[in-house]
Structure 1
Amino acid sequence: MCGRVRCTLSPSQAARAFGFPTRTCAAGSTIARGGGGGDVIPTVPTLQMDRYRPSYNVSPGAYLPVGTMRPLPAGCDGGGGVDREVPVIQCMKWGLVPSFTGKNEKPDHFRIFNARSESIKEKASFRRLISYNRCLVAVEGFYEWKKDGSKKVPYYIHFQDQKPLVFAALFDTSTNSEGETINTFTILTTRASTSLKWLHDRMPVILGDEYSINTWLNSASLKLEEITVPYEGADL
């Protein structure tokens, strides 16, 4: 389930969806483009965004902007002190490739593009990621197909006000046969909400407010059972 999404979001739109800080560039600056009062840009690091290709039909194996926390070495911010984590937006490939995957194994991004939230504590591919490799994925919506006789009818699920959906996800880092480091992620799923049971028995874990987004990304005392519940809002 959730094997196709729409994502044409800019880095600044993704940053706002994640609750990361942004700023407005002055009109006429080298960063600002177009007319008006300038562009809104993230004030957090953005990594490997040149790999991102916005699309109305994104499938596993594609790169998407992902929000996560990365360590900032002591002194990099000019303030000295100790290492600390900062939010970043990093382009990662959809479809988890565990770090223990052999370098010569061909990655299959369709094998682990979703993870059942009810069982992630039990499986080695996910259990070790829960503490330190949680991340956020922002999209405009996702697609689901319902059988209608011999046909499959596609449905597009999104917020009524068109704001981005933010999914709970886990990421991992592996190395391919060329020695390149690859960051990949999987989207967590849960049982379907009351309003979507007619369509499918599963749905992505949607983090519907600032509290759930911040808890998933930052809480050291995370209670999975409280966060990974179906989104029941009437605006979906």
Structure 2
Amino acid sequence: MSGQKFGGPDTHAESGRTRGRGRPQKISREQIICAARSVAPEVLTMQAVADVLGVDPTSLNYHVGGKAGLRELVARDVFESELRRVVLPAEGDWRQVLTLFATALRDAVVVVGTLVPYLRPSHAGGSATLASVERVLRALVEAGFGIEEARGALMLVTDAAASAGRDALTAQRGGDPDVAELAAALSVVPETNFPMLRDVVAISQRPRRDAEEDRLSFDLTVIIAGLQHRLTTNRR
């Protein structure tokens, strides 16, 4: 993701450069987002966005309040934009709906990239996210789950997808530091000790292009199997 830009500049950004002295130019939230997405996330600052818009950085304060607010704004917009690309089927098996939803969430986290730390739980309030969550809950309830069970299932799947997305980003940056720390700890004890842990380290360090897909697929298989068992029990 290094150096990758979220999108191209907008004509709004050009309009900011033509303004001369006088009253401060009014900048809209949409202009700020557009300009911010034309900047590589690693160097996203108030000054960088102000430079794109051709305004003073203080002009952005009303909407973002600072660098952290700016990055939250962009992370939320990227996340919501990615989820908007995925349309869950109006009808269909609840397992298919869960799988599509989880995959979309994981992919959205990956696209947010280095701005993931600025993605807050409150960012699940966008229209695309709410529509997807509503569809998942409806699919589960129609399958026979109670609303509390549906809520629990949604939380499990959401956590699994977000974790898989973060794992994918970690792999892109060179691997999981926890695995490296475990490998270092094992290197100072006899090779015959902790064979299972050594196998785990070997698997974790093996280069796999689709590691995050393997991780999410495994988690979903376990979650769906547990939910299916609960559903069967409920029906009895």
Relative to the length of structure 2, the TM-score reads 0.23
Q: Which has the higher contact order (CA 8 A, sep 6+)?
A: 1
Higher strand share: 1
**TM-score, length-scaled by structure 1:** 0.23
Q: Which structure's CA Rg is the greater one?
A: 2
